[in-house]
Amino acid sequence: MKRRDLLLATLALLVIWQIAAMLVNQPILPTPVQVGAAFVEELGKGLAGHFLASLWRVIASTLLSILLAAPAGLALGQSKRANDFFAPLIYILYPIPKVVFVPIVLLFLGIGDFPKIVIIFLILFFQILVLVRDQAAGLRPELIRSVRSLGAGRMALFRFVYLPASIPGILTALRQSVGTAVAVLYIAELFATQKGLGYYIYLNGNTLFNYPAMYAGVVAMSILGLGLYFAVDWLERKLCPWLFVS
Amino acid sequence: MIEVEHLTFDYGHGAPVFQDFSWSAARGEAWTVLGPSGCGKSTLLNILAGLVKPGVGAMRVDGQNLNRPRPQTGLIIQDYGLLPWATVRENARLGLRVRNYYGPDGVHAPKDYARTMDVELWLERLGLLPQAAQFPGQLSGGQRQRTAIARTLALQPDLLLMDEPFSSLDAPTREGLQRLVLELWHETGLTLVTVTHAIEEAAVLGQRILLLNLPPNTRPQIIENPNILQPGYRESDEYVALCRSLRTMMETA
């Protein structure tokens, strides 16, 4: 995607927003200028802290799920026996919308960061597991055979073939689920916490009726989602340059 | 260099591919193994590479019984076996990286192996320097196979096994690579075993040709072909006559 096109699209959205706000002409839809001013003002009054709390939860759960799901996916992808054993379990658990576990996880794990991290982890874990597993299983036996002929045993195959082969799978999984992860984070932050953008948006919209601040929170959440998406894009270009050559 | 004694091998169903089969190849010879699909030629190569365990019988390479891939044996396969995420230079280094990873343990790398990552001479010899920073997806089939050859020769093998190495390449590329392999064989003095189903390739690359037929193979049929290095051999009457007689032998079997 070209930078200029992205900039133009952002501008177009702002113009549409501005026109809509002028047409509606009510406090529940402030103009982009009002929200921009509120955003800058709120940053100093705690919005930045809420943003960082949400960012930390997403980053922590992303790292945790990569750390646990990638090795598990690699193991399943390498061993047909292990995969035959676990595949039915994954088949059942994978499509369940993990957001329904929010109340259960909160019941068991209570307040604080940890239950929120666990909820996002549940979403990312299965996505990464399945994609890395399929990527490892899809490596052609001929490739494995020829690398073995170079002297590679199990350890070297893992280090030089399976591990690098899993990186595109991890990144694809993140790209597909980072949006869902942020959405579910919003839901999770409505409960049992006083930190995070979900809490902030709800507080300003439904308790304080400070609409410009509420919109500033929505903008911050959008920036969080977009930023993560861009980060995955950037990592993919950095780590998988071979996918971008003609 | 290679000694196969009383080899019996089957896949657990049908006739055994080899039954009490004995064959040997001397150091520095260029052999081709020719036969129709299903004759067991790839099986023989996999056993020679140490990737498949022989059933009954003895299998020695350089006097050593074979239980696993031997560090001094190189293998070239039809679909190149390159890492798609690594450049030509990194692919050529892969064997050395594997050796550096294990160190000179005598199992994954020879005991006298000295750590290196230098493949520049091989990239140059195989004409790959202009492509060194490119990925396999950007290369032609011939360039990919040359990368695989550079990767294998960087390990300085004394035995090079090739499994239908040029079958998916177009004719001019294939002939160029056949010439290159013969040159490299001649320069390095390694022992060369090429498995192929193509009669012409068997006649071009094999000083001696081992002809296999439908299983079970019990005794080796060996055809001598001493003049492969002579200039113009590919156009000679001798070559044409050999191809004709190989075809007859394959059809009557």
Interface pTM, i.e. ipTM: 0.87
Q: What is the pLDDT of residues A158-198, one digit of tens each?
A: 999 999 999 998 999 999 888 888 998 999 898 888 899 99
Say whether A148 and B73 touch across the interface (CB within 8 A).
no
Measured between alpha carbons, how far is A55 from A53 in angstroms, rounded to an integer? Answer: 6
Question: Comparing C-alpha atoms, which of A237, A105, A128, A117 is closest to residue A177?
Answer: A128
Mean of all residue pLDDT scores within chain A: 92
A149 touches B: beta carbon within 8 Å:
yes
- Write down the pLDDT at residue A224: 95
- Write down the pLDDT at residue A79: 85
Measured between alpha carbons, how far is B106 from A96 in angstroms, rounded to an integer? Answer: 51
Say whether B85 and A240 touch across the interface (CB within 8 A).
yes
To test the contact with chain A by mutation, choose from B47, B67, B83, B138 the residue with the greatest count of A C-beta atoms within 10 A, namely B83
Say whether A150 and B85 touch across the interface (CB within 8 A).
no
Contacts of B109 in chain A (CB under 8 A): 151
Buried b (16+ CB within 10 A) or exposed e, A188-215: bbebebebbbbbbbbbbbeeeebbbbbb
CA distance B242 to chain A (A): 32
* Single-letter code of the amino acid located at A153: G
CA distance B192 to chain A (A): 15
Q: What is the pLDDT of residues A59-74, one digit of tens each?
A: 999 999 999 999 999 9
A153 touches B: beta carbon within 8 Å:
yes
Question: Comparing C-alpha atoms, which of A105, A116, A127 is closest to residue A59?
Answer: A116
- Please report which confidence band the pLDDT of residue B150 belongs to, taking 50, 70 and 90 as the band edges: very high
Q: Which domains does chain B have, with CATH numbers?
A: 27-52+70-252 (3.40.50.300)
Mean of all residue pLDDT scores within chain B: 92
Q: Which CATH number fits domain A48-244: 3.40.50.300, 1.20.272.10, 1.10.3720.10, 1.20.1630.10?
A: 1.10.3720.10
Measured between alpha carbons, how far is B154 from A188 in angstroms, rounded to an integer? Answer: 56
Judge contact between A10 and A226, C-beta under 8 A.
no
To test the contact with chain B by mutation, choose from A143, A147, A148, A150 the residue with the greatest count of B C-beta atoms within 10 A, namely A150
First and final C-alpha spacing in chain B: 29
Task: Identify the three-state secondary structure at position B37.
Answer: coil
CB-closest option in A151, A164, A242 to B71: A151
- Write down the pLDDT at residue B84: 93
Q: What is the pLDDT of residues A228-238, one digit of tens each?
A: 999 999 999 99
- Write down the pLDDT at residue A196: 93
CA distance A45 to chain B (A): 47
- Write down the pLDDT at residue B93: 96
- Write down the pLDDT at residue B253: 67
Integer angstrom CA distances of residue B137 from A73, A150, B146, B150: 26, 22, 14, 17
CB half-sphere exposure, A61, CA atoms < 13 A: 27
| Beta pairing, strands B30-34 & B191-196 | parallel
- Write down the pLDDT at residue B202: 95
pTM of the model: 0.84
Phi/psi of residue B148, each to 5°? -65, -35
Helices and strands of chain A, counted as H and E runs: 11, 0
A163 touches B: beta carbon within 8 Å:
no
Residues 118-147 of B with CB under 8 A from A: 134-135, 137-138
Q: What is the pLDDT of residues A38-49, one digit of tens each?
A: 999 999 999 999
- Write down the pLDDT at residue B204: 94
Count of CB atoms situated within 10 Å of the CB of B50: 20
- The structure tokens listed for A196 are 């995070």
Q: What is the pLDDT of residues B95-149, one digit of tens each?
A: 999 999 999 988 888 888 989 999 999 999 999 999 999 999 999 999 999 999 9
> In chain A, what are the domain boundaries?
48-244
- Please report which confidence band the pLDDT of residue B193 belongs to, taking 50, 70 and 90 as the band edges: very high
pLDDT above 90: percentage of residues in chain A: 70
To test the contact with chain A by mutation, choose from B67, B68, B94, B147 the residue with the greatest count of A C-beta atoms within 10 A, namely B94
The full DSSP string for A126-179 is HHHHHHHHHHHHTS-HHHHHHHHHTT--HHHHIIIIIHHHHHHHHHHHHHHHHH
Say whether A242 and B97 touch across the interface (CB within 8 A).
no
A89 touches B: beta carbon within 8 Å:
no
B102 touches A: beta carbon within 8 Å:
yes
